[in-house]
Amino acid sequence: MTLRNSLTSAALFGVAIFINFDLYSFFFFLATAMVSQNQRGGSSLKDLDIQHLSAFERALRRILETDIAEQTYAEVLDGFPLSDSYLSFQYPQDGHPALEHEELSEGARERVCEFRSNLDISSLLFETILVEAFRKSAPQSKEFYLRLIELLAVSCHRFAVEIFQLDEVVEKHKIYDVWRDSPRDMNKWDSFRDPTAFTHGPYIAVDQYPNGSADSVGYWAEARIFGGVIVFDRGEDGTESRQLYFHGCHSKGPRTIYPPTDQQFEQMIQFLLDESESHDNPFPILATPQNRWRWDPWDAMAHYNIYRDRFERKISPSKGKPCVLNSIDWPEIKDDLYLINAMHERLEGKSVDEEEIAAAKEGITKITPSSPLWSDQGQRTYQGI
């Protein structure tokens, strides 16, 4: 059996292997290890027609060539996120090793670029159901774009997993492990310890991940590169791809799940697929008040089949109540408050901005069943306006 076949078998069936070879060789053979350990087979993209295959190749190369992707994978190779990256997702915990990691180690970014230049895209393996869905999609259709983005998310996730599992990187994890497992006051607010130094919100269900704690790193990398973990409206049967969403979980962003705006989606597709190199990189896609149709994360998975994989997050048997409701999570709250104030000003005989009122009224219609305003289903009334 060849080294390539050995690595493929190990990746597919979870066999523990310990092969000492340099990063150059590792990334050359990495291409055969895309399918999760819980998959008993996978499909490559080499049998796709030229339109589908070339679209994926162009899009993956383009996303991997972004500065944010290079830096993200270099941080994983370093064993810790940079302090700024850590703080973009987390509130600082006393003594966290990432707080002192302010610069990449020498050569880390160059080694990531070496991996990229030697990546054999035609050898990547994916779940057969995803490959078939992409193959059947009509080029330039919404289904085509959504399945393409899913392939990209899986690829970027998996690359982070494989880097994190390198022997030389595993050695660096021990620094975090010592801090994570050290005695501490469990009554303090920051006593909780994430499984790895790379953590993205609730994506820490390592006991049910195919690659264990390494998958939590994959979700972190996705969020860094794309703006959030990429999830989809899976429809009633749980296999469709009806809509794209981001689960951002940034420390200064919403906890809710949001879709890209039409303009953001168009910019994404142009950047990924346009043959010219003139398009600005729209990633990461961060939430703004214009990213409407928000979903509560619990509702999204429990009732509306919004996820990429069922195992990605654990949710409680019942939905808890949030401590506060705010317009960062729910932009429609700001619209509602504006309309209430405008209503009172109109009743007091003061002038009001009709354009702002119209915009706010439109805003409160762009809500989902998980919105705190859903009881009125966007049909709230405001006397006098």
Question: What's residue 321's pLDDT?
Answer: 85
Residue 319 lies in a domain: no
The closest alpha carbon to 325, from 317, 314, 336, 315, belongs to 336
Asked if 202 and 121 sit in the same domain, the reply is yes
pLDDT averaged per 10 residues, the chain (length 385): 35 33 45 43 89 97 97 97 96 94 96 91 91 98 99 98 94 94 90 94 97 98 98 96 98 97 98 89 97 98 98 95 91 97 94 96 96 81 85
Q: Would you say the pTM of this structure is higher than 0.85?
A: yes
Same domain, 230 and 352: no
- 170 lies in the same domain as 239: yes
Q: How many domains does the chain have?
A: 2
Query: 132: which 2 tokens?
Result: 């078939």
Domain of 338 in residue numbering reads as 331-376
Same domain, 344 and 257: no
Cα pseudo-dihedral 97, 101, 107, 108, rounded to 10: 60
Does some domain include residue 385? no
Residue 118 and residue 267 share a domain: yes
> Cβ of 249: how many Cβ atoms within 10 Å?
24
* pLDDT for residue 121: 85
3-state secondary structure at position 126:
strand
If asked whether residues 262 and 341 sit together in one domain, one would say no
Q: Is residue 383 part of a domain?
A: no
> Are 19 and 141 part of one and the same domain?
yes
**Is residue 354 one of the residues assigned to a domain?**
yes
Could you tell me if 259 and 369 lie in one domain?
no
Distance between first and last Cα of the chain = 75
| pLDDT for position 123 | 80
